Every structure is written in C-alpha cells, then in structure tokens.
C-alpha cells in the first residue's frame, strides 16, 4: 500500500486506520445514482476489496447521475457493475472486485454478501431493503442503508434522505419503522399475484415499480454521509456508529434521530443464526 497516496487522510486516522480500511471487504448492492457515488468514494478512500451487485444496464436516463457512465455505455447497454468496476480500477488498478451482474437474491449474490464484512444497501425498493436487513441480521454484518426521499405536501416540495446503520446493538430498518410494509408486500409478491391485483384493482404491475426523482447532488450528499460514518466506524474513531441520520435538503441540516427500535423485532431476533434463516436454502 502506497501510504504517500493517502498522506492527507492519515492526518485524521493514521496508518492503522488506513490499514483497517484497506483490509475491509465491502459489498455494494445497487449501483445506481447512490451506489456509484459510494463506490467511487470508497475507492478514493483506499478500500481495495469490493463486491458489486446489480442486474441493471446503463440507460439514457442514468446519465444525469450515474458516476462513470457515458453515452457509449448507453449504446452498448453496459452493465452497471462493469461501469462501476471500471471507475474503481481507474483509481486503483490492483483493486479486487467481485462482479455480480444479477439480483443479490441468487447463489452468486448470496456468496458475495456472505464473504463481505460491511454491506452498503443503495437500492430503490423497500422489498429489497427488507431482504438485505434480514441477511445482515442473520449474518450479523454491519449494514449501511441509504435512501433519498422527496415529498410534496401542496405547500412546499421537500427533499432529503436518510442513512440507517444496522449493527448488533442498534436495531434495523424494520424495527425503526423505516419500511413501507405495503410496498414490501407488493415487491415480494409473485408475478401471478401482481397480475391478480391488476385484474382486481386496475393497477398495472409496472406501476408498482415506479421510482421517484433522483438528482446527482442529493445522491452525493447521502453517499458522503455514509462513507464518513464508514470511516468513523472502521477506524474506531466513533463506535457505535450513529443509528439513523436524516438529511433535510430545504433546511440544509443533518439530524441524528434518537428514535428507538421497537422491541420484539423478528429480524433482530435472528442475529447470528446465519444459514438457518437464509432465504436461498
């Protein structure tokens, strides 16, 4: 490891901290606007061992926010995992990268997550968030869940996001009431069930996958919050990490939530049980 390259950040957390960062195996699930930001920052920071998981390809609508993507990638329908791996290797050619160009709910995805030490969840849907929460609890892995949010209450348009960090002592997205359980139910429904709902209620299956606005600057703020907390956690500067941070874009403030997890969480109850609660077995 070339310590001269990291000279300025060593002033914050020293050689020992840098070595801990370099040794940490990180998985990033979801390589869109937020995930591509997270990957780039971690590579700059000196993380050298990555697992990248996303089954999507680059489209024209990604170019307003997806770090590293080009119009040529759109023309070639380049997988996002390849674009992000390319970005990482442009900063560190010797980085070790496992690429899973598929859902994380696959044998390859499961293996990549199980081999990681920290998971960043940068997904769009709460169904995926719940599955990642279940995995992180079962294998007792630190899990950084990032989400942007916009709202319109007819008086003003709000925007911001949140960062939730799951560790053994801190609760999870479920018991902190961060998930839309109706969205979870829809996301995890079978294709047949979605078709039935369409026939019954007139809701097209595609409408269940609608996504909100995504802006490069907002994504970057959330990614930076997460990577900063990762630094504090891995180097030991601040432990335990903050449980929940909320960013209010209109006010320009970050607030540490003091919300406590609800007792009796079925997912936190599975901490450390590993394959006994693995959805693939």
- Looking at residue 214, what is its pLDDT? 84
- Own/partner contacts of 255-262, CB < 8 Å, gap of 24 or more, are 259/176, 259/177, 260/171, 261/170, 261/171, 261/172, 261/175, 261/176, 262/175, 262/176, 262/177
Q: Stretch 58-87: mean pLDDT, rounded?
A: 98
| DSSP string of 129-198, one letter each residue | HHHHHHHHHHTT--EEEEEEEEEE-SS-EEEEEEEEEE-TTS--TTTTT-S-HHHHHHHTS-HHHHHHHH
Nearest to 172 by CA among 261, 105, 280: 261
Q: For residues 17 and 5, give the distance between their C-alpha atoms in angstroms, rounded to a whole number.
A: 14
Could you list the beta-strand ranges (E) of the chain.
25-29, 49-53, 96-100, 118-121, 143-152, 157-166, 244-248, 253-256
Q: Which domains does the chain show, CATH number per domain? A: 3-185+213-260 (3.40.50.720)
* 178-227 tens-digit pLDDT: 998 888 888 787 555 555 555 554 555 555 455 667 899 999 999 999 99
Name the β-bridge partners of 163: 146, 245
- Looking at residue 208, what is its pLDDT? 47
* 27-38 tens-digit pLDDT: 999 999 999 999
Q: For residues 103 and 110, give the distance between their C-alpha atoms in angstroms, rounded to a whole number.
A: 9
Report the chain's terminal Cα–Cα distance, integer Å: 39
Q: For residues 165 and 230, give the distance between their C-alpha atoms in angstroms, rounded to a whole number.
A: 9
Name the token pair of 56: 């999507």
Q: For residues 260 and 268, give the distance between their C-alpha atoms in angstroms, rounded to a whole number.
A: 13
Report the length, in residues, of the chain.
Answer: 281
Q: Cis before residue 240, ω within 30 degrees of 0?
A: yes
Question: 195 near 205, Cβ under 8 Å?
Answer: yes
Which percentage of the chain shows pLDDT scores above 90?
Answer: 71
Name the token pair of 257: 């939530």
Specify the residue for token string 């916009």. Answer: 150
* 159-191 tens-digit pLDDT: 899 999 999 877 899 999 999 888 888 878 755
């Amino acid at each position: 490891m070339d310590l001269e390259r990291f000279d300025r950040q060593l002033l914050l957390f020293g050689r020992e901290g840098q070595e801990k960062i370099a040794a940490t195996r990180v998985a990033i699930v979801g390589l869109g606007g937020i995930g591509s930001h997270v990957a780039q920052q971690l590579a700059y920071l000196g993380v050298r061992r990555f697992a990248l998981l996303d089954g999507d390809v680059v489209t024209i609508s990604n170019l307003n926010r997806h770090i590293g993507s080009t119009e040529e990638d759109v023309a070639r329908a380049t997988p996002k995992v390849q674009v992000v791996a390319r970005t990482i290797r442009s900063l560190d050619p010797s980085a070790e990268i496992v690429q899973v160009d598929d859902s994380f709910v696959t044998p390859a995805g499961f293996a990549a997550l199980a081999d990681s030490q920290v998971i960043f969840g940068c997904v769009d849907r709460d169904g995926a968030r719940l599955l990642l929460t279940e995995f992180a609890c079962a294998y007792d892995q630190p899990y950084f869940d990032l989400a942007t949010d916009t709202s319109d209450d007819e008086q003003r348009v709000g925007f911001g996001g949140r960062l939730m960090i799951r560790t053994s002592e801190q609760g999870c997205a479920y018991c902190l009431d961060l998930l839309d359980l109706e969205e979870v139910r829809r996301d995890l429904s079978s294709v047949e069930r979605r078709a039935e709902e369409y026939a019954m209620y007139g809701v097209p299956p595609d409408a269940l996958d609608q996504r909100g606005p995504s802006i490069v600057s907002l994504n970057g703020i959330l990614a930076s919050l997460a990577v900063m907390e990762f630094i504090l956690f891995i180097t030991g500067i601040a432990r335990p990490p903050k449980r929940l941070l909320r960013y209010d874009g209109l006010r320009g403030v970050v607030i540490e939530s003091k919300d406590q997890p609800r007792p009796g969480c079925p997912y936190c109850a599975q901490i450390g049980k590993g394959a006994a609660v693995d959805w693939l077995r």
